[in-house]
Amino acid sequence: MPPAALAVLGIMLGVIGLLILLMIFNYGQIWFQAYWSKAAVTFLELLGMTLRKVNARTIVQARIMATQAGLGKNIPPSRLEAHFLAGGDVPRVIRALIAAHRAGIDLDYDRACAIDLAGRDVLDAVQTSVNPKVIDCPDVASGKSTLSAVARNGVELRIRARVTVRTNLQQLIGGATEETIIARVGEGIITSIGSAPTHFEVMEHPDTISKAVLERGLDAQTAFQIVSIDIADIEVGENIGARLQADQAEADTRVARAKAEERRAVAIAREQEMKAATAENRARVLQAEASVPKSIGEALRAGRMQSQAAAGRA
Consecutive sets of 10 residues in the chain, 314 residues long: mean pLDDT of each?
Answer: 62 61 62 72 76 82 84 79 90 90 86 89 88 86 83 86 87 83 87 85 82 82 86 83 79 88 88 86 81 75 62 52
* pLDDT of res. 93: 92
Question: Residue 156 in contact with residue 237, Cβ under 8 Å?
Answer: yes
Q: Are 182 and 204 in contact (CB under 8 A)?
A: no
pTM of the model: 0.62
- Residues 216-241 have pLDDT tens digits of 888 888 888 888 888 888 888 888 77
pLDDT given at position 2: 65
To the nearest whole percent, how much of the chain has pLDDT over 70?
85
- Under 8 Å CB-to-CB from 103, ≥6 apart: which residues? 126, 129, 130
230 DSSP β-pair partners: 162
From residue 303, alpha-carbon distances to 68, 99, 289, 292, 293 in Å are: 150, 138, 22, 17, 15
**Per-residue confidence (pLDDT) for residue 171, from 0 to 100:** 83
What pLDDT was estimated at residue 298? 75
Cα distances (angstroms) measured from residue 19 to each of 5, 34, 182: 21, 21, 61
| pLDDT score, position 26 | 59
∠ at Cα 131 (126, 133), nearest 5°? 100
- In this predicted structure, what is the pLDDT of residue 155? 85
Cα 209 to the chain's mean position, in Å? 21
Proportion of the chain in helix, strand, coil states, percent, rounded to 5: 65, 15, 20
3-class secondary structure per residue, 131-167: CCEEEEECCHHHCCCCEEEECCCCEEEEEEEEEEEEE
Cα–Cα distance measured from residue 195 to residue 235, given in angstroms and rounded to the nearest whole number: 18
Please tell me the distance from the alpha carbon of residue 288 to that of residue 279, in angstroms, as a whole number: 14
- Asked whether 193 and 236 are in contact (CB, 8 A), the reply is no
The identity of residue 203, as a single letter, is M
What pLDDT is recorded for position 16? Answer: 60
| Domains in the chain: ranges and CATH | 17-130 (no CATH), 133-240 (3.30.479.30)
Other Cβ atoms less than 10 A from the Cβ of 94: the count is 25
169 with 122: CB under 8 angstroms? no
Helix axes 122-130, 109-117, angle to 10 degrees: 120
Residue 242: phi and psi, rounded to 5, are: -65, -40
